Structure 1
């Protein structure tokens, strides 16, 4: 930690009426240098909604204040998000007692990092205080017991933009903070969408997709260069910790993710990845210059990963080819295949760090992490395009990763984009569930829209975090029925249908969760608008209302969309719509769509 971790005690945060910069709060003695002996810290990741100020109208912070009051008063447990509950059924929510058992201190960039220093105040050759704070972000996250993702839907009239969970996920700095969380001790986040809409995400890669920090959006391109050393140091520390703990499965995952995390931060052909285990050169025979270079590459890979044989399978159910596919190292993959690795070998266990289920192929892993050259080679090596009996087929992996190139590669090799996976899920519906716009666009190009149930997909868009105005508008343009009430959970696939049976019964028996509530209400006469309100996807709800979605429809339980918002502090534009005025929803939708260049 190059700069102390400055925080604000939660009791002082709740009294704020505006967000003041670091220097002013420090001068007034409100900032506290956090130490773990004092209590717990919460790191707040958020997207700035102003040019020179993170929250000029105090809209974001007001939501955080209300959410913290909700946690400290009437909320007993922060529930799991829908996807985590589905894929990790043994997981449970976070008891709020853990947040209040000790004094809580809040880290928030604008008041925790220096903001007012000028370039001429920093001696030549020395790092600025802000640079020190940036390099300390991994340490701040590691020192925090909780990681908050603050993503209420905010419509900025000045910037003519809408800020939402999807815009947060595209932001480069937010991706860096997320990566630091993933590489920390506790990978879970608390997502704050509204004062009473909080979710615990225990499997970030499956629940709320993103991408490498270097491929994110930046206000200043020069900021990208600041990230590589921060990420390199974070991964190095994590790898050494995993080796010390003898957690070799997690070690292999992180070791081979270096290329993923650093994508966009290093020049092609100039990548420099950390190799934690010394002594490989000493293990080579004397006449190493006569050895096949590809053999040396394979041997070093096995050495660094702790494998003895190419056909070995580790305790996590993965083989060397799977880890090589994760790294995307084409010469390495070619070397493994040349020495007998089976291009169709599958994993036998799930990998929660990556959100990957069992029975995942090396090709699917390559496509998932956008290693297109390696994927092309595996296709030429006769890797199965369908993945056989698998949940994460190569096509499903491509759409989850929002890889238009992955979809193109597979379709060019004659992979059927309509083919469903082991549990009956299709690529188009999955893309809509994850809100992966480029994958949706490419599937539409490849299929011409034929054989795609766009109305079912509109419902699926509201299940997870896919509900952006851009995607909703695209589906409406394709003639999706915004007032459809024929949707059932069996339509997207029998796997979801089976889950719905269990969750509906669970809900009737009184064990209510976000997932059980969604299943109970959403598949029995529920409209896309009802689902959007249920899952707090307010940007999508605004787009549907602006397009003319009916507000008077009731599901089979007798509920209207307004009923799902009853007693909830929903955004003003949505409350106004339920009171009869759609103007606010029209303004939000216009702002969300005006800068969109995404089109078929």
Structure 2
């Protein structure tokens, strides 16, 4: 067994205990177990980590920002180039090493030591310099399903580690390792889109445990912001507490004065300089219909717009109570605001997205249904030419895509960089159910992208030059291949194994070429070190012959909420 458990390592003195003043960088490794009784029985997952660290130390790989953070100009914390070269000197916390185990049995949460570890997850993530998500696409040794970054992000315990990282007292990012040369630094905005207690659990009883720890994390974050004197962010996180604790939208007959006192606010209208959350926005995020009604009856401006920027949550732009509720709250809250005259035309998030796109991006399918019932436009495009289907592909909830397709959105429309929504699912490494729904709606798996306008054509041309020079970033790879590349080409460069399987099942041509060198998807996968996709192409039928595979036969473990 190449990976001994905690008790064995403790017995032979191989573990180091962290103490205040620790001088080496500390990294928490978050991962999904690849076996029922062992985290990595075939050493497939851990070997990717070892090779990634050796490549990092040898200068053969560098950490890069994910595409969305890069294109929006977000500044993310990441280890310096010098720190990356010295990564073999870092200390790593890995659950099988760092947690008490019942060696040879499934990982339980019921012993006192293990329960103490569960309660300490926030402390581990707070102490660490960053959290490394180890998520290559491999087969689970017992279930034989593919596990990947997508399945990691659907696991409740993994979501808890992600949330603990984002709510840490120190500014830190997630580093996602999906291949030996692919280490992406991300803001991890899914912490606010997909809460831990909504994830998948082997034992459903763990859901309540995780919900309680989530609530504790939120309380700690609110306390920290209060002590820092950052009342605006304190109010925002306080408004999220009902969602975190599982009672968003519950009504307790709270009166307005109690609500205002709870948020340390003096006036119902809160007419401000446009940079502070109003009482109506806060009540809308909570889904507090009683207080919303009282505020509106006291003439609170339902269309007051503020500027609210939280890059780590991908909230950046002009927002009203309606846009915040469409992102983060209940359909009842959205309905109430619309019934009181809330406008869908005043708000703009990143790239001037519409309210419908905002709801889709945050996976709020129930809110989307309400907006569409009030005639929200499905053809509204943002500054990048993306319609709500493009934007919704970034959501952890595939029902967003289904709702839009049911309302007639065109799955083959291009955004300005040349990508269809189907291609976008690979760029953002989306849940493959997004792609499957588009393919069932007759999205063309062989439609080559076409960038629009001089600016985007120049960006694509410059990115191709960077690829030829061997120094292209993650964003530049995608900008280049989106222009004249097919969805399969984009799946190949992004390591989207499950989406590549679907595309082939629906007739994608593996022999289609991209670029002056006539590169196939397999060529691109080899260039990007995605050996799992190379192996897939080696096994696939040639010349785009249509397979009879279905989603169930592709060993995809799909889970989502309506």
Q: Which TM-score applies when normalising by structure 2?
A: 0.86
Displacement, 1:172?
Answer: 0.7
1:560 match: 520
Are 2:269 and 2:301, in contact at CA under 8 Å, matched by a contact in 1? no
Displacement, 1:372?
Answer: 1.9
1:459 match: 423
**What is the distance in 1 between the residues matched to 2:442 and 2:559?**
20
1:300 to 257, 261, 265: 261
What SS class does the counterpart of residue 257 from structure 1 fall into?
Answer: helix
**What is the distance in 2 between the residues matched to 1:293 and 1:158?**
51
Q: Does 1:415 align with 2:415?
A: no
Displacement, 1:76?
Answer: 6.4
Greater displacement, 42-51 / 306-315: 306-315
Displacement, 1:49?
Answer: 2.2
Displacement, 1:66?
Answer: 1.2
2:117 to 106, 121, 133: 133
Displacement, 1:560?
Answer: 2.3
Displacement, 1:196?
Answer: 0.8
Trace 1:342-361 onto structure 2 (pairs within 5 A). 342-361=301-320
Q: Does 1:98 align with 2:78?
A: no
CA deviations on 1:53-104 (whole Å, 9 max, x unpaired) are 2222221111111111112111464110000001125558643422455831
Trace 1:538-549 onto structure 2 (pairs within 5 A). 538-549=497-508
1:6 match: none
Q: Does 1:34 align with 2:26?
A: no
Q: Does 1:109 align with 2:95?
A: yes
Trace 1:435-584 onto structure 2 (pairs within 5 A). 436-445=397-406, 447=407, 449=408, 451-453=410-412, 456-466=420-430, 468=432, 470-485=433-448, 487-490=449-452, 501-502=458-459, 504-505=461-462, 508=465, 512-523=472-483, 525-558=484-517, 559-572=519-532, 574-579=533-538, 581=540
What SS class does the counterpart of residue 216 from structure 2 fall into?
Answer: helix
Q: Does 1:58 align with 2:34?
A: no
Displacement, 1:254?
Answer: 1.8
Greater displacement, 137-146 / 156-165: 156-165
What SS class does the counterpart of residue 337 from structure 2 fall into?
Answer: helix
Displacement, 1:411?
Answer: 1.7
1:381 match: 340
**What is the distance in 1 between the residues matched to 2:49 and 2:343?**
47
**What is the distance in 2 between the residues matched to 1:426 and 1:134?**
41
What SS class does the counterpart of residue 358 from structure 1 fall into?
Answer: strand
1:262 match: 245
**What is the distance in 2 between the residues matched to 1:361 and 1:321?**
9
CA deviations on 1:555-583 (whole Å, 9 max, x unpaired) are 233332223223544234x2234446559
Displacement, 1:297?
Answer: 2.9
CA deviations on 1:432-460 (whole Å, 9 max, x unpaired) are 24463111112223x2x464437822122
Greater displacement, 511-520 / 560-569: 560-569
Task: Give the direction of change, closer, same or farther, for the CA distance of 1:252–1:22 in structure 2 (3 Å limit).
Answer: same
Are 2:193 and 2:396, in contact at CA under 8 Å, matched by a contact in 1? no
What SS class does the counterpart of residue 91 from structure 2 fall into?
Answer: strand
**What is the distance in 2 between the residues matched to 1:228 and 1:436?**
20
**What is the distance in 1 between the residues matched to 2:55 and 2:217?**
34
**What is the distance in 1 between the residues matched to 2:524 and 2:393?**
23
Once superposed, what is the RMSD of the aligned Cα atoms?
3.4
Q: Which TM-score applies when normalising by structure 1?
A: 0.81
For structure 1, the 5+ residue unaligned runs are 1-16, 272-291
